[in-house]
Chain A
Amino acid sequence: MSEEETDVMIGLETHIQLDTETKLFCGCPNEEAEEPNTHVCPTCLGHPGSKPRLNKKVLEHAVKTSQALQCDVNEEVFFSRKTYFYPDLSKDYQITQYEVPVAEDGEVEIKVGDEKKDIGITRLHIEEDPAKTRHKGGDIGNSDYTLVDYNRSGTPLLEIVTEPDFTSPKEARAYLQQLAQMLEYLEIYYPESNFALKSDANISIDGGQRVEVKNITGTAGIEKALSYEISRQKQLKKRGREVSQQTRSYNQNQEITEKLREKETEEDYGYIFDPDLTTQELDEEFREKLRAEIPELPHEKFKRFKEEYGLKDKLVEALVSVPEMADDFERLAEEFDTNLAASWMVGELKKVLNYNEVSYDEVNVESGAPDFLYVGLRVVLSHLEAGEFNQRKAEKYLRDFVEQGLDPEKEFSIDDPKADNIDLGLNLKDYKKSGDDEITEFVKEAIDENPDAVEDYNSGDEEAVNFLVGQVMSISQGKADPKTAREKILEELE
């Protein structure tokens, strides 16, 4: 029986750590530190008398994301205190949004295979991340002692809560992947950074009790955690046992969910308005300004690429998955055959990047030139179209180009990608097919230097041609096209 046949209901609460310069309520750097407890101040340590002050950048990120998720943005928002005692919480209350979040009632369309589905967004709000705890000698239940590192205390989080609209782990995973991609387009989240995307999931089957699974990291984790939890609940049902209302955690190493606590009643956090933070007005002007900053989103770009370039779904999906790559593709498509450009970017280039374990954006940043890959691709595509590179050489060029990087001493600009004098640190001659005249010279040389082989051929030994072709290849240092060489040799020997 497949999962879809059971009445499964899943809702997700996803936390996105924001990669801002400073923390949510203080001026501490929002980044990893070499030592624990170094990026801290009285505010994020919750010292008596310290006060939070809002990092307005976070508000901008939240509003942009809300608009991209088609939510209604609230005009006046404020913060609340959620009180609970836990060693990682510096004030023993967390500043979050309760009554009025940044936004509510949104919708996002996800694609699973060829199926499309709308997922409701309940709300989006801002809150602070607690510190990190490290339980020495075990987990929280049996460790010798616990260390607390407050470097993370006060990192800004966006929390996005969905309706229980998912009916399979696959859908949940697709949603997270598409959400992450959208956030990347909004320049809010970068998959390569240390900033994580974590979800809590609410799962129930056949209208049974709801189980909450906490702390599922990433997009691959969600599918595994949910699959495990659904089969656990099904097994219980099958054996006639009740699924009790519980809070569980996901154990990433063992890929199982584990019981944290039996949930008889909802926890009571005693929310009050945080009187240290003033109400924030998200007026029309502010929202309009941010709306204007929203770029074409992945699903919109997908649709347009399909229409404009007539490429296969798979190619478009791959191009759109990296915003910078999609932009470069559009520039290349102005000069080159779109299919050729797309298949080189998604095929050969991707292979080279994967092999070197770098991303498209990273290569550009590391090279010191934002157009690095774009220019490299232009060289390859222009020489391919002109018939001056063969497939194998073009691949080699691309690989060498990525791996060698740029010589920082040299000027990096080209106007004509086919010009032989462009200097990207590689010698184009090494990659080009040899010209006809050049091959004729090599052929002559091979014949002159190997009279025995010529004699053998004349005596009827046709194998001798292969030897001569080999010689041409060797003299040309592999640049000659063997087929052409054979033709020329035969011409000479007639």
Chain B
Amino acid sequence: MNLREVVEGEKQVDHEEFLSELKEKNQELNFMREITQESNTGELNGIPFIAKDAICTEDTTTSAGSQILENYQPVFDATVIERLKESGASFYGKTQQDEFGFGTFSTNCAFGTPKNPHDKERVVGGSSGGAGAVVAAMDKPLISLGESTGGSITNPAAYNGVVGITPTYGRVSRYGLVDYANSLDKIGVLARTVYGTAKGLEIIAGEDENDQTTSSKEVPNYSENLDETEGRVAVPKQYLELDGVEEGVMENFQDSIDELKQRGFEVEEVDMPLLSADIAVPAYYVLAMSEASTNLAKMSGMRYGMEKDPEDFEDFNEYFSEVRSEGFGEEAKRRILLGTYTRQAGYRDQYYIKAAKVRTKIINQYKEVFEEFDAVISPSMPNIAPKIEEAEDMSPSEIYAMDTLTVGPNLAGMPMISVPNGKSEGMPTGLHIVGDHFNEQKILDIAYTYTGGDSQ
């Protein structure tokens, strides 16, 4: 049974069965932060949906993977949650994630590390790891909401062998998203099929008066417009020359290129110097950490989340320090410190302002390429999901380097989709298709064509 069959009314979801399978799989893989059941009726006919823990859900725990927000229950639903509920989708809970989205493997979760459904010894990817794993683990139609700042939807989609779409920045409201880096955060959809991501996206996308950065551009009916297509795709030379891309991943990517050519696409190499590892990645981290350090300031034990007995402290500075020292994980502290440094007077121009300029240049470089091409393609991740202990042994700089393929399009706010393109060592790999701003339909069509249309 796939999602289209449920939407079109041919089949129905058995909610009891879904819930028991969800609980059972979660026992084994720990991808859920909290399981709940809330039924709705409407166009989506009770299709189950699940959300990353950073997306606010009224009265259901929203901790963003952090101890400092353990047991925090928001007083409102995020706009995306509200829209899915109104469409008739049924809410089943929240998924594990790296604390505040800080991570590549979902090994920085305050509430346990989720395991990959393809191999329990391996990671699910990050930071929307739980959101990817639940789709792979459940043999049922499901819309899973993820969030990407630098690649957090693409990454778990590839590691779990599912489809994940990250929309254009401003296409989907961020109202109710526990912020990581507001100028980069995008809520997107993970599902088993291209159709599933298209359906989910068309429901959550569109202008929202509660988020000024949302676009007023009309939202196409992505799922109904899905069409076999052809055109021209570009492969950045910098990605082909990238260090550390595993052989199996590169082979699958070459196969994908052949497959696309067979289906009528022209594939060409292009030069995109700003996507090289030493430019895009530092610019991304400077901006993301600068914004994150201001967002996390509000986590001080004053109004919600972790609290202490004020009697035990000399003054509010001491109180805030204690709550933050205990509540934040190691990676969060690292990013707060670095982010505070990069926006400090004296360093600001050198780091924060410079990174913002690099970002503008990267956008311009993409724009030039999109004058000639319909999409830019690459492997989704340079490797297959590593083993959990391998991931935990990596240094922060090794981990940051793994984001090279995804941070470029994320910095530019471009829409992108990751689709499974085979396996390596028994683990799934992904093909990354990046499109021009607000051109989600095009990348969905290419992904649809690549995966064989309606057969998926």
A residues sitting closer than 8 Å to B (CB atoms) are 42, 45-54, 81, 83, 85-87, 90-93, 145-146, 148, 266, 268, 270-278
Contact = CB atoms under 8 A, between A and B. Distances in A.
B212 interface: yes
A48 B316 contact: no
Which of A46, A87, A270 has the most chain B CB atoms inside 10 A of its CB?
A270
A275 B212 contact: no
A433 B356 CA distance: 82
Contact of A270 (B69, B178, B340): B340
A47 B75 contact: yes
Contacts of B212: 51-54, 276-278
Interface stretch (B225-233, B299-307, B431-439, B442-450): B299-307
A45 B303 contact: yes
Nearest to B63: A48
B294 A48 contact: no
Contact of A53 (B177, B209, B303, B344): B209
Contacts of A53: 209-212
Contacts of B209: 53
A414 B376 CA distance: 79
B69 A48 contact: yes
A287 B388 CA distance: 59
A48 B72 contact: yes
Contacts of B297: 83, 85, 91-93
Contacts of A46: 298, 303
Contacts of B178: 48-49
Given A272-B343, A276-B179, 16 more contacts: A42-B76, A47-B75, A48-B178, A49-B55, A49-B175, A49-B179, A53-B210, A85-B300, A85-B320, A87-B316, A91-B298, A93-B297, A148-B302, A270-B343, A271-B348, A278-B212
Interface of B: 55-56, 62, 64, 69, 72, 74-76, 78, 174-179, 181-183, 209-213, 290-291, 293-294, 297-300, 302-304, 310, 316-317, 320, 340, 343-345, 348, 352, 356
B173 to A, nearest CB: 9
A90 B75 contact: no
17 contacts: A48-B179, A49-B56, A49-B176, A50-B176, A53-B212, A54-B212, A85-B300, A87-B316, A90-B298, A268-B345, A270-B294, A271-B343, A272-B290, A272-B352, A274-B182, A275-B213, A275-B291
B74 A93 contact: no
B245 to A, nearest CB: 32
B304 A83 contact: no
Contacts of A83: 293-294, 297, 340
In the A-B complex, the 8 residue pairs with the closest CB atoms: A275-B183, A92-B297, A275-B182, A270-B343, A49-B176, A49-B56, A48-B178, A91-B298
Given A48-B64, A85-B300, A85-B320, A272 B69 contact: no
A270 B298 contact: no
Given A48-B62, A48-B179, A270-B343, A92 B74 contact: no
Given A42-B75, A275-B213, A276-B213, A85 B316 contact: yes
Contacts of A278: 212-213
Contacts of A266: 345
A146 B310 CA distance: 10
The B interface is mostly helix, strand or loop, or mixed, namely loop
Contacts of A51: 174-175, 210-212
Contact of B317 (A48, A85, A146, A275): A85
A95 B298 CA distance: 13
A86 B300 CA distance: 10
A112 B75 CA distance: 54
Contacts of B293: 83, 270
Contacts of A48: 56, 62, 64, 69, 72, 74, 178-179, 298-299, 304
Nearest to B57: A49
Contacts of B302: 87, 148
A52 B310 CA distance: 30
Contact of A81 (B56, B213, B294): B294
Which of B72, B75, B182, B183 has the most chain A CB atoms inside 10 A of its CB?
B182
B177 A49 contact: yes
B223 to A, nearest CB: 27
Contact of B298 (A86, A92, A272): A92
Contacts of B356: 273
A268 B346 CA distance: 10
B343 to A, nearest CB: 4
A268 B72 contact: no
A105 B12 CA distance: 67
Nearest to A274: B182
Contacts of A85: 297, 300, 316-317, 320
Contacts of B298: 46, 48, 90-93
A83 B352 CA distance: 15
Which of A53, A54, A277 has the most chain B CB atoms inside 10 A of its CB?
A53
A273 B356 CA distance: 10
Nearest to B69: A48
Contacts of B69: 48
A431 B62 CA distance: 75
A52 B179 CA distance: 13
Contact of A276 (B55, B56, B182): B182
Which of B298, B304, B344 has the most chain A CB atoms inside 10 A of its CB?
B298
B67 to A, nearest CB: 14
A276 B297 CA distance: 16
A397 to B, nearest CB: 55
Nearest to B174: A51
Nearest to A45: B303
Nearest to B299: A48
A146 B313 CA distance: 13
Contacts of B290: 270, 272
A466 B371 CA distance: 109
Contact of B294 (A90, A93, A268): A93
Contact of B303 (A90, A268, A271, A272): A90
A268 B293 CA distance: 14
Contacts of A81: 294
Contacts of B183: 273, 275
A399 to B, nearest CB: 53
A425 B300 CA distance: 63
A166 to B, nearest CB: 28
Contacts of B56: 48-49
A266 B178 CA distance: 32
Contacts of B304: 47-48
A12 to B, nearest CB: 24
